[in-house]
Structure 1
Amino acid sequence: MASIEQDILDYIAQHPASGRDAIRRGAAPDAGETTIYRALKRLVDAGRLEVTGRGRGTQYTIAGSAAVIAYLQTPYNQRPAVPYKPEFLDAYVPGKTFYLSATDRQALRKAGSPTGPQLPAGTYAKRILEQLLVDLAWASSRMEGNTYDILQTERLIKFGEAVDGKDRKEALMILNHKEAIQYVVDNLDTIQIARPDLFNIHALLAEGLLADPAMAGRLRGTPIGISHSSYKPLEDGITIEEEFEIILQKAAAIDDPFEQSFFLLVHIPYLQGFIDINKRTSRVASNIALLKADLAPMSFLTMDDAAYIDGLIGVYELNNVALLREVYIDSYLASAKKYRVLRAEVDVPEKAALAYRDFVREAVRYSVLKTKKFVAEDVMAMAVEQGIPEADREAVVDYAHQQLKGLHEGNLIRYKLKTADLEGIELI
């Protein structure tokens, strides 16, 4: 996309219902009227802008979801077949083209940014991992028709308890999400939007769910269809490989984490490069940039499933991201609000220790039953062994020490201890 077109989109996003003269003055004061007219026409023809009125009353606004919703009123089997269009991806120039306006990106960053001190890269993600595993695994699986509820998902992830009577593939889908999300968080320092990592995520999500297990973590070379859509994805394996590489190169060149996140949600499903599990791969991968930037994750917890699918069909058949963009923004704002509360609970040192409640209880029991006093070196070694992030260890060890010093017969139950266990203990 030419820079003048992006300047026009950015201006109209901040000044909706603008006329042509105002757009020229605000977005491209050095451009001639003909240049502006042609740029606006290209944007309207591409579905990026909507136009109302005539003559001097003509006004332009960013194309919204209404165009997609109206299009989808026609049943899919009555809509003309639409092939993959490489020009949709070709038109995207990282740093110049934006699916999310500057106003959108600013609002998302405000919602997702920490309110407390900046944490070392990956620390926040590790602190919220337990909650993220449940939220994202459940939400992403639900969007694929999985019938586990969120409490059943939590018990499956935490205790390995599958629900009797449900399809085993449903449990496997959830556990595969757990593995894929864990992979992202465990490797935040080195993970990239690159072929090996995207293949690893797909392979983890696909384990045990594909008819041909060899297709896990591998691009397809055979035709596939899209349910309830007239979209016809590419069939040629060589072209799929080429387009996939272009997606990776462009995604990696996007600096804004939200734009990169949304770009992956658009183009991984649009290409349909894998034999299956493309949308799940895009949802997990869309969190890489957010977590690496120490932003709240996108859990998809409150996303409207039907609107999400409609938004994707808008991408497939119209190359229009408007509805999917609205769904993404609304869902992220809700997700960020939840994780902002969770972050506030772990940013303060004593509250950070609460995030490791099981470890603290184990440390207190060890001190009472094994050493009969608090040995900081021993407890620190336990923290290292159990993988508590370095940034949290000192606070957690100190908190465990405070809990030991506060032991009495009335609170022993928290640590599964008895009064007799306190004999000979040094509570200092």
Structure 2
Amino acid sequence: MEYEYRLVDRDLAVDGVKRLLPDVVWKIANTELVEGIGLPEVQMICGGKATEGMTVKEVITVHNLKRAMQFMLANLDRPVDLDLVKEYNRIVCESLCDKPGEIRSYPVRITGTDYKPGMPAIGKIEEVLQLAKEIDHPIKQGFYLFGHISRERWFNDGNKWTAQLVANHVFVQNNAAMLAVPVEERENFWHKLVEFYETGQQDDLNDFLYKTSIGIMPGGLTMEKTREIEERNRKWLGLE
């Protein structure tokens, strides 16, 4: 599949992220949480208001993801290197996970699959990050980093959150897109992710994410939805 995107002005891309921030935080949060969090509660927390009916873990999760997104917007000119990736993990896992921001130093298992990731090595991680820089297509580069971080479990916890944030750093840095898995697609996302873990083949996962979860800047809609709206507008304007 060809992964199309449309480059826009940096200010337009940043404005789009700011406008979409509560929605993106809500969706990213729910890719790691089994029970899920409601959008109204996320909007309240992102707006600095207190909310009832949420666990302490859920409130911290939303707050951390909001801070990670703000960190992204303040650091878009930074290259994706090991220090940056570790900082994203540190922010999202603060007060939630064991040793946030530190590379995993013990074996782990992944729920729902027999696949067991090997122990991460700094040299291998830095090689992946260097190879990513050589990919000149921002969508493919983001997917490449997302796949390695999530499948190889570079950190003790929060790897899917970290992988999405790093991919989004690449997407927004290039003024191209935003990754946020719709909550209604969460189970399909988990299924595709497990298949990827077990096979190491990422194409199906990437195609799924592109069709359902990649919002093209500045509107934040999928390419398919963007085209539908453009076609409708052309008909209304009598251009067809």
* TM-score, with structure 1 as normaliser: 0.49
Q: Look up the match of 1:372.
A: none
**Which whole-Å deviations, capped at 9, do the CAs of 1:77-126 have from their partners, x for residues lacking one?**
xxxxxxxxxxxxxxxxxxxxxxxx4xx12xx21xxx25xxx52x3x1233
Structure 1 residues 338 and 149, CA, compared in 2 at 3 Å: closer, same or farther? farther
Does residue 165 (structure 1) correspond to residue 73 (structure 2)? The answer is no
Which runs of structure 2 are paired with 1:24-423 in the superposition (5 Å)?
Answer: 101=1, 104-105=2-3, 108-109=4-5, 113=6, 118-119=8-9, 121=10, 123-145=11-33, 147-162=36-51, 164-189=52-77, 191-210=78-97, 212=98, 215-235=99-119, 239-301=120-182, 304-332=185-213, 335-336=215-216, 339=219
Q: Secondary structure at 1:137's aligned position in 2?
A: helix
Distance in 2, Cα, partners of 1:129 & 1:315: 28
Distance in 2, Cα, partners of 1:151 & 1:251: 36
Cα pair 1:136 1:301 within 8 Å, conserved? no
Name stretches of at least 5 consecutive residues in structure 2 with no aligned partner: 222-240
Distance in 2, Cα, partners of 1:311 & 1:322: 10
Distance in 2, Cα, partners of 1:157 & 1:130: 11
Q: Secondary structure at 2:205's aligned position in 1?
A: helix
* TM-score, with structure 2 as normaliser: 0.84
Q: CA deviation at 1:338?
A: 8.1
Q: Secondary structure at 2:219's aligned position in 1?
A: helix
**Which whole-Å deviations, capped at 9, do the CAs of 1:143-196 have from their partners, x for residues lacking one?**
12253211111011112323x23211001111111111111111112x211011
* One-letter identity of the residue aligned with 1:133: L
Structure 1 residues 303 and 293, CA, compared in 2 at 3 Å: closer, same or farther? farther
Q: Look up the match of 1:425.
A: none
Structure 1 residues 340 and 267, CA, compared in 2 at 3 Å: closer, same or farther? closer
Distance in 2, Cα, partners of 1:141 & 1:303: 13
Cα pair 2:16 2:220 within 8 Å, conserved? no
Structure 1 residues 309 and 147, CA, compared in 2 at 3 Å: closer, same or farther? closer
Q: Secondary structure at 1:224's aligned position in 2?
A: coil
Q: CA deviation at 1:316?
A: 1.4
* One-letter identity of the residue aligned with 2:185: D
Cα pair 1:240 1:271 within 8 Å, conserved? no
* One-letter identity of the residue aligned with 1:339: G
Larger relative contact order (C-alpha < 8 A, sep ≥ 6)?
A: 2
Cα pair 1:199 1:217 within 8 Å, conserved? yes
Q: Secondary structure at 1:221's aligned position in 2?
A: coil
Distance in 1, Cα, partners of 2:150 & 2:142: 13
Name stretches of at least 5 consecutive residues in structure 1 with no aligned partner: 1-100, 342-428
Cα pair 2:181 2:189 within 8 Å, conserved? no
Q: Secondary structure at 1:297's aligned position in 2?
A: strand
Structure 1 residues 340 and 172, CA, compared in 2 at 3 Å: closer, same or farther? closer
Q: CA deviation at 1:198?
A: 0.5
Q: CA deviation at 1:204?
A: 0.5
Distance in 1, Cα, partners of 2:100 & 2:108: 15
